[in-house]
Structure 1
Amino acid sequence: MSPLENFREKEFLDQITILNEISGSKDPEALPGLAALLKEPVGDTSIDYMVVNALNAVLSGNEAKVVEGLGDPHEGYSILCIRVAGEYCLKGTTGPLINLALAEEDLDRLMEILTSLARIGDKSAIPVFRRFLTHEDPFIQSSCIEALGKLGDPESIEEFKRLLTESEADDRFEVCDITTWKAVDALARNESENTISFLVRTLHHKNPTVRRIITDALINVGPFAIPMLLDAFETENTDSKILAANVIGFLRDRAGADGLVAAFDKGQADDPNVRYAVYEALGRIGSMKGIICLVDGLSETDELILMAVIGGLEKHVNPGMIAALTERIAKRDDQASRLAKAVIASRATTIFEHLHGNREVGVLLVDALAESRDPEIVEEFRKVLTGMGGPHAEQDLNRLPVLDKGTSKALAADDSRFMCAMHRAILTDLGFEPSLAVNGEEAYEYIEQGERFEVIITDMNMPVMDGMELVGKIRSTPGMENVPIIMVTTESEASQQGLASKTGVTAFISKPFKAEELKAKILEVTR
């Protein structure tokens, strides 16, 4: 006897019990009754939902019935069978699903069929995905791109490249559509020299969101991408070098560090923005050659680059490096002052502790600390000095100012912690209380929590959420329509300032910049 006999006449709780039991047992004898209940629902939302779940469970263990149901005239039942085929990767349904796809004219049903075929992952479906690869519906097209990428179809690679290239057209680059995103992912999945080299060449895409997607894809590829990333240093494209260095830094592989040092030695990092990116990457990796290069970087005079050098060395403190720093700061010349300020601004507390033992150097470091107007930084080093103890530390503690937080709030977003540190120093000097974020998503969380700011500074290129997307979200937030937003770009990104202006950016400042230049820009937009 079917467990569903006289089901409609039973009490609600009894119906629930029966359907739960069927879901657990996957009793094939319940299939006709469940199908009938699906086609003619009871009318109670809870019961009808449980009928679908029970039917799903029973079908999952009966591939033949799923194949049979694919051609059922009842729309709901056939769609359920299509979904079950994909959800449970029933390979025996591949052929029937292919036939359905080739004959289907309804876009929604076609999408369901292609989605299930993609989940099953049978290579015999590759010709079907190729057929719809240029479909006018972007969701169907993107579904096919994703499937072909997962299946590793070599014949589709040139089409993926074409899609990514065409996404930079003047009438298209302002929007990152789903097909572009899927094309990047499909190329990265291939992991061949051909596809990864192409992604590296496209790394500085006109659209910041696409740049972020390509960056993430290359990081996911891993060390295999390093030789192709280093090839970017053989070109004259500054932005490609910067982005390639960033990716190499995130990969944290010694081969990448060695390659960056070689590029440095060949004069391929002469641009200050490239040098900054290389130093930051070397700090993340921490190879012996990289540390030697960072020590050589102690002669840099640009304050932001010097912060990247000190910040990189902070993670890899060793006696030789401390000796070199001590010798340089002990000279008490202009460079010694820059180095002392960089140690404080980059919050290099470990380096500070090691250097403080030399009284002459310690005094210069505390001089730089006493000049800071950032209460958070002063408090952090105050704790370090307290922990160190001793007469010199006690004497230096008495020299530190007691600072109040600024009266106005400012927000700065940048994925570089050294750039964030520079923003913090500039904002506190101007009397702001700064909030810092390493990407747009983190920055927007402040706003979602009700924080309001007198000025916002954002980088254009960031992971998770880039500057363009952040600005768009800020401008769509009630009460934030007119807050001044300064976007940090490189010189070569000037062509994209029109797009950023449309999004809602108030003003721009190009890297590399001096602290006084950003201060002037902040004062200009907040008056």
Structure 2
Amino acid sequence: MFDMQNLTVCLVEPSRAQGQIIQHYLQELGISLIDRVDSGASALNRIHEPPRPDIVISAMYLPDMTGAELVMAIRTDEDIQELPFVLISSETRPESLDAIRQAGAMAILPKPFIARQLDKAISSALDYLNVDESRAELESLDPDTKQLLLVDDSTVSRHFMRTVLERFGFCDITEAENGQDAINQLAQGQRFDLIITDYNMPLVDGCALIEYIRTTSDQMSVPILMVSGEQDKQKLAAIEEAGVSAICEKPFDVANLRHLIGQFL
């Protein structure tokens, strides 16, 4: 079982001063095993060295790449693609942060951040790492018998979400690469116990997919969880009006996601 005291962190921060601040906060949480590197290439080299770190915490702007490029490199490497990733950055532009969200970050923290925010991010990573505890919490629901539909146009995002769901104990997971693909599968009569969808997708977005399910499909009452980085309040209101069961923000808190799925099933 992972806990704060035995967690190994790879901290990717080119600024020595910022690195010291983050290390101080981590040490206050009880984390002492911290390896700081100053570039994306150094981080990837360190991650592949034994003993591998349990979590990567990175700045957005590194000398040789961005944090978005670093997490994408992690997610597309089969040996390390399940590694938890946390971004700490002063960047606020949605277009710059979207790739981080889509790649499955545990959290995106601002600079400066407060101790509670870092604690929550690390706790979410621990929930993700402690697979046995996650499965035990949902065991009474027989997750291996449930059929899930996962809808997202990002292959990387789908893969990360699938990894989380499999850690929860689900194994019957059907994927759809956009809302139209999901509608085609539903129209063929395939039954699902839960549908998890993104919002922004080509052809048919998440809101239109929900409207189809609630008004046209023969599974009008199936629980629908939207996991999205969408921030537009009007769009979010339209999603709720369409009949979504719940909206979970990207990056999502693992414990909250598990709790929502437990409620639905």
TM (norm. structure 2) is 0.49
TM-score by length of 1: 0.26
The structure, 1 or 2, with the larger RCO (C-alpha pairs under 8 Å, 6+ apart) is: 2
Instruction: Compare CA radii of gyration and give the structure with the larger one.
Output: 1
Structure with higher helix content: 1
